[in-house]
Structure 1
Amino acid sequence: MTEQLMVKQERAVRTRDALIRSAAEVFDREGFALASLTSISSLAGVSKGALHHHFVNKAALTDAVEEAALTRLLSVAGVVPPRGVSRVQLLVDVTHRLARALREDVVLRVGFELSGEVSRPVRVDLREWWRRWVGEKVLQAEGDGELRPGVTASDAVNAVVSATVGLEVLGARDAEWLSGATITRFWLLLLPAVVSDGLLADLKAEGAWCGGVVAP
């Protein structure tokens, strides 16, 4: 591969990434329905012709935003905890990671918002992906005896998913809903209701790892 071709390919990747981010910013600011390709290309600093070179239409660009958001979500949830960390603590810490990422990353935030967009088919449903991930971890916690007697995995999953998705929706317009303090207070309320007494004292609602206590 010649150096000239490598430079051309790198430029194309940068342009595509800039268009995805610009689309997310315009969707976030104006809403999906009102967002125009002209606004997106202008924000990215490219011509409409260059935009159409990468994405044939708004639907294709939106699909790319969703796919990029899923990649970010996989990174957030795919961390490997230190040895001996409980399933519940993993869930607590990843929830903090997700909230922080939603505050800071417009592509991830818009990817979640697009999951609730009714005017178009959803290609990648991030909210459904999150529900399945939480369900998997809660079932593992149940198998490890981490849940309080009488609490079913489905009850715990419903509580976590409904609360975290609700915070995600509210946080799209007010970042305080996604602050470390808000996530910590949520877990302080929920943990005593769902976790066994033997595990409860060892859990840290503010987060225990992932680079230390999660900053607010």
Structure 2
Amino acid sequence: MPSQQRSVLMAQQERAVRTRNALIESAAELFSKDGFDVVSLSTISTRAGVSNGALHFHFASKAALTAAVWEAAAQRLRQITHEGAARGQAAGSGGPLQVLVDTTHALLRGLRHDVILRAGFDLSESPVPVAPGADLRRRWQAWVESLLAQAAREGALARDVAPQDAAHAVVAATVGFGALGSRNAQWLSQSMLTRFWALLLPRLATEPILKELVASGRRREATAPPEAASPLHRPISRQSA
């Protein structure tokens, strides 16, 4: 194929990818803002700045576009959990419970800044039919349960705490913060989640592990104000909790 034709083909492919991504992001923004039932395909195409014909070229139906939003959100959730597990293996201190704390902070940062991730969770909690395996809340719950089960096997979880019960509390809190954060961003703040963990960790962790845990997470937000002196940003104890 001549180089000029290759250049034209590559430009067309890049334009198609940009158009598809713009439609997914516009759908996510409108689903989160107005709700799935209210939003029409024509509203989405207008928001994305493309024609209805271009929308139907990429997505045959609203259900197909919704599935694309779910998949994009699922990819973001997978990245958050994979990076959390990788950081935990590298750092070591605090074990699975610290990985869980760190990853919940990463999730709330994502929910605060990433409209596609937010829409994925919103759709999971809406009456919209969810394709098998597309429910982000269920995926998140399965990951949290597996991490808490690992903590129990390693002796990090208090003996009278069932991993599934602890997972229900963590998922309810994080998904709830996400839902409340759509109206008040304070619910998605680092300090809000830090206070939740400062309250819960003394109930979850054994004494030796508790001393290693940092409720604020081991990764600070670049825009966060200096809080090094706060007990919430130090390893916690049952007395200080």
TM-score range, shorter chain: over 0.9
Q: Are 1:100 and 2:109 counterparts?
A: yes
Match of 2:119 among 110, 123, 142: 110
**Which residue in the other structure is 1:13 paired with?**
17
* Residue type at the aligned position of 1:95: T
* Residue type at the aligned position of 1:117: S
Q: Distance in 1 between matches of 2:67 and 2:117?
A: 13
**Which residue in the other structure is 1:130 paired with?**
140
**Which residue in the other structure is 1:200 paired with?**
210
Q: Is the 8 A contact 1:99 1:179 kept in 2?
A: yes
Q: How far 1:214 sits from its partner (Å)?
A: 3.7
TM-score (norm 1): 0.94
Alignment of 1:138-153 (within 5 A): 138-153=148-163
Q: Distance in 2 between matches of 1:182 and 1:214?
A: 14
Q: Distance in 1 between matches of 2:221 and 2:200?
A: 18
* Residue type at the aligned position of 1:55: F
* Residue type at the aligned position of 1:109: R
* Residue type at the aligned position of 2:140: W
Q: How far 1:154 sits from its partner (Å)?
A: 1.9
**Which residue in the other structure is 1:43 paired with?**
47
Q: Which ranges of structure 2 fall in alignment gaps of 5 or more residues?
A: 225-241
Match of 2:173 among 141, 149, 163: 163
Q: Which moved more, 1:182-191 or 1:151-160?
A: 151-160
Q: Distance in 2 between matches of 1:156 and 1:61?
A: 35
Q: Distance in 1 between matches of 2:153 and 2:22?
A: 44
Q: Distance in 2 between matches of 1:99 and 1:121?
A: 25
**Bigger radius of gyration among the two:** 2
**Which residue in the other structure is 2:99 paired with?**
90
Q: Is the 8 A contact 1:207 1:214 kept in 2?
A: no
Q: Distance in 2 between matches of 1:96 and 1:27?
A: 24
Provide Cα deviations, 1:47-90, integer angstroms capped at 9, x if missing partner. 01100100011111111001100011111111111242310000
Across the aligned residues of Structure 1 and Structure 2, the Cα RMSD in angstroms comes to 1.2
Q: How far 1:191 sits from its partner (Å)?
A: 0.2
**Which residue in the other structure is 2:36 paired with?**
32
Q: Distance in 2 between matches of 1:152 and 1:56?
A: 45
Aligned residues: 212
TM-score (norm 2): 0.85
* Residue type at the aligned position of 2:61: N
Q: Is the 8 A contact 1:206 1:214 kept in 2?
A: no
Q: Which moved more, 1:154-163 or 1:137-146?
A: 154-163
Percentage of matched positions with identical amino acids: 51
Q: How far 1:4 sits from its partner (Å)?
A: 1.2
